[in-house]
Amino acid sequence: MIYLDNNATTMVAPEIKKQLYEACDIWGNASSMHESGRLANKAITEARNSVASLIGANSDEIMFTSGATEANNTVLNIPEGGRILVSKVEHPSIIETCKFLLSKGREVEFIDVDSSGIIRLDEYEKQLKKGGVSLCSVMAANNESGAIQPFKEACALAHKYGSLFHTDATQAIGKVDIDVHKDNIDYLSLSGHKFYAPKGCGALYINSSSPFNTFMHGGHQEQGKRAGTYNTTAIYGLGLAADLVMKEGSEERERLWSLREYLREGIEKTIDDISINSPQDMKQCLPGTLNVSFPGAEGESILLLLDNKGICVSTGSACATGSLEPSYVLLAQGIPVESAHGSIRFSLGRYNTKEEIDYVIEVLPSIISRLRAWSTRKK
C-alpha cells in the first residue's frame, strides 16, 4: 500500500509504537497520589514539557485534549460576547462551530481568501477596524490546499485592534516554524495524529496572560481547565512525537518538498488539462501537500481507482468525507465547481519514497484517460 493521505492522519512512528507498547504498563491514574499514579504523572509531565518546547511555550500553558477539534471548540467558546473573525477555509471544527454560534445569536464574520487560498489581510483588517471583535481565528496552514496562512501577521493585526488571537496549527506542526511567545499568540490547537503520534490526543496552548473559560467540567485535571481522566499512553506518545519532529527539523521539510515537486512535475508531463490548486512557493505551501484538479474526471472515481491500485489519496478534508458537495476550500479560492469536483489531494509524509511516487506517476495517466473517456460517452 502506498499511503499519500498524511494530512488526514499519519501512521504512528515505529520507534514511538515500540515505546507506547512499553508505556501500557504505566496504567495508574495520573491524579492518584500513590506510586502507580506518580509514574503516570511523570510520563504526562515529560510529554507536557516536550509539547511546550515544540511550540516555544511554558509547560504550564499546555492543556491536553482529545484532539484539535476539542481544542478549537474550547477556544471559540471562550469569548462571551463580541464578534468573531475566521477565514472561509478553516477546518470544519472551526467553520461548523461558528455556524452553531451564529444560530445562537453570536456575530461571526467569514473572511475571503485569494486564488491561492490565503486569507485577504486587507479584508481582515477592514473587519477589525469596525471594532467589537473579541476573537480572531486563522489557521496556520490549510489541510486541503496546503496554503500556509500569514497567521503571524493576522495575530499582530488582531492585537492592534484589541482582539485575542487563535491559530489552528494542526497541519503546520513539524512543517512550519512556530514560536507562540515570539509571535504573541494567545491560543494554539494541535493534534498528535497529524505528526506520527496516536489518535485521540491533542493539546491547546493557552497563553498565561490570556483569558480562559472551562469548556469540559468535572474533575480537577489540567489545573481545573479540562476535566477527564488522563489518556496517559496517548499523551506519552504525543510527547514522543514532539521530540521526533523537533529532532528532524528542516531536513525532512526539504525532502518532502523535493518529493512533492517530483510528483507535480510528473503529473504535468504525463496528463494534459490539469490545474494545481496548491501554492507553488515552498514559503506559502506545506512541503508535502499537492492538490490537483483533473477536469472531466470525478474526484471520487479517481480515488477509488487509485485505491484499487494500492494508492491511498483524498478528495479533500477527511472530516468532510461522505459529502457529495465540492470542497468549500477550493470554492473559496474561486476554483470552478467542475474542477473542484475533480480534485485530488496528495499529502506526503515521513515514510514516502521516490519509488512510490514513480508508481503513482505510472498508473495515474491511464486512470484519468479512462474516466475522461467515460465522461465524454455519458455526455
The C-alpha atoms of residue 73 and residue 144 are separated, in whole angstroms, by 20
**146-160, 282-296, 306-320, 329-343: range with lowest mean pLDDT:** 306-320
Closest CA to 230 of 45, 13, 84: 45
Question: Residue 176 in contact with residue 288, Cβ under 8 Å?
Answer: no
Q: Say how many C-beta atoms besides its own lie within 10 A of residue 19's C-beta.
A: 13
The C-alpha atoms of residue 85 and residue 121 are separated, in whole angstroms, by 12
Q: How do residues 293-325 score in pLDDT, each as one tens digit?
A: 999 999 999 999 999 999 999 996 445 555 568
The C-alpha atoms of residue 316 and residue 297 are separated, in whole angstroms, by 15
pLDDT of residue 317: 47
pLDDT of residue 90: 98
Report the pLDDT averaged over residues 85-100.
Answer: 97
Write out the DSSP string of 4-34: -BTTT--PPPHHHHHHHHHHTT--S-TT-SS
Q: Where are the alpha helices (DSSP H) in 3-162?
A: 14-23, 35-55, 68-76, 92-103, 121-129, 151-160
Residue 149 has pLDDT above 50, yes or no: yes
pLDDT of residue 105: 94
Closest CA to 196 of 356, 1, 18, 349: 349
Q: E strand or H helix at 371, and its extent?
A: helix 354-378
Q: How do residues 248-257 score in pLDDT, each as one tens digit?
A: 878 899 999 9
Q: How do residues 215-241 score in pLDDT, each as one tens digit?
A: 888 888 888 889 898 899 999 999 999
The C-alpha atoms of residue 136 and residue 128 are separated, in whole angstroms, by 9
Predicted structure pTM score: 0.94
Question: Residue 285 in contact with residue 146, Cβ under 8 Å?
Answer: yes
Buried b / exposed e along 202-231 (16+ C-beta atoms within 10 A):
bbbbbbeebebeebbeeeebbeebbeeebb
Angle at 154 between CA 193 and CA 204, to 5 degrees: 30
155 a catalytic residue: no
Closest CA to 180 of 45, 78, 62, 74: 62
pLDDT of residue 282: 92
